[in-house]
């Protein structure tokens, strides 16, 4: 990923990563799933940290009932060594709270920055938030990821990782 960043005129180490999650419906035979009441989805939740190019730096899959803050904490704990150069982590309103900000700062030294909409009931693009949404849209193009058919959460992670690798390979061919 460092060479991809350099090819795009960026520093080899990223200083800003954007965090978000996506709930994914599951099929019948899965062993681990939860219910995301906000999106009304029974399934799993994919938590991702991407840089401004949409390249992943951390990835965790949980059941859908795990909130954004708890999923982000789990992701930072699992990938703290990959996030050592990060100074800021923007996120949406689901990541507010001193508990998450303190945990992230202790483990990585990064500051959690919350991007909120200033006016309700009016559409506005939140700066840098579209980057992670674009990454989710890229993942939706992969047949194995549009719905979770995997029995275990670890297998769902193993299906997402090659999708990001395929994205990188497509970039290098151009």
- CA torsion 73-77-82-83 (nearest 10°) is 40
142 close to 163: Cβ distance less than 8 angstroms: yes
Considering its fold, how many domains does the chain have in total?
1
Indicate the SS3 state at residue 46. strand
Report pLDDT for 79: 93
Q: What DSSP letter does each residue of 79-123 carry, written as one string?
A: HGGGGTT--EEEE-GGG-SHHHHHHHHHHH-PEEEE---SSTTS-
Question: Please, which pLDDT band fits residue 1 given cuts at 50, 70 and 90?
Answer: low
Mean pLDDT of the chain: 86
Any idea what the CATH number is for the domain that residue 35 is in? 3.30.420.10
Kindly report whether the global pTM for this prediction surpasses the value 0.75: yes
Angle between helices 153-173 and 129-140 (to 10 degrees): 100
129-156 per-position pLDDT tens digit? 788 988 898 888 888 788 888 888 888 8
Angle between helices 68-79 and 98-108 (to 10 degrees): 10
Segments forming the whole domain that contains residue 131? 2-173
Report pLDDT for 58: 93
Report pLDDT for 124: 61
């Amino acid at each position: 990923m460092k060479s991809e960043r350099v090819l795009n005129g960026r520093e080899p180490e990223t200083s800003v990563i954007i965090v978000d999650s996506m709930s994914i419906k599951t099929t019948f035979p899965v062993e681990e799933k939860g219910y995301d009441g906000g999106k009304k989805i029974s399934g799993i939740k994919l938590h991702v940290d991407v840089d401004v190019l949409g390249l992943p730096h951390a990835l965790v899959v949980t059941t859908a009932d795990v909130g954004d803050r708890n999923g982000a904490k789990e992701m930072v704990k699992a990938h703290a060594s990959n996030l050592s150069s990060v100074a800021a982590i923007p996120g949406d309103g689901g990541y507010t709270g001193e508990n998450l900000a303190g945990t992230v700062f202790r483990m990585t030294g990064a500051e959690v920055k919350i991007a909120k909409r200033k006016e309700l009931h009016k559409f506005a693009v939140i700066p840098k938030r579209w980057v992670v949404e674009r990454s989710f849209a890229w993942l939706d193009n992969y047949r194995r990821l549009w719905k979770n058919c995997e029995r275990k959460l670890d297998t769902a992670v193993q299906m997402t990782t090659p999708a990001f690798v395929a994205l990188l390979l497509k970039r290098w061919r151009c």
